[in-house]
Amino acid sequence: MAVPKKKTSKSRRNMRRSHDFISPANYSKCPNCGAFVLSHCVCTKCNYYNGRNIKTGQKVG
């Protein structure tokens, strides 16, 4: 079994783990109703995406 010859310092250990984190979710405001929604997803409040009502298929504007 492999055993380390020297103690890994806190600095070296933390530098190795610097990429092991979860980035926060990217929320944006819905241009139709102003609710916060995930980017590239249909708004759950008003069912709009990309200037279009997904349920009815009608364009806005």
Q: How far apart are CA 41 and CA 29, in angstroms?
A: 11
Percentage of residues in the chain having pLDDT higher than 70:
98
pTM comes to: 0.55
- pLDDT value at position 10? 97
Give the position of tokens 């102003």: 34
17-26 mean pLDDT: 89
Q: How confident is the model at residue 61 (pLDDT cuts 50, 70, 90)?
A: low
14-39 mean pLDDT: 91
5 contacts: CB under 8 Å, gap ≥ 6? none
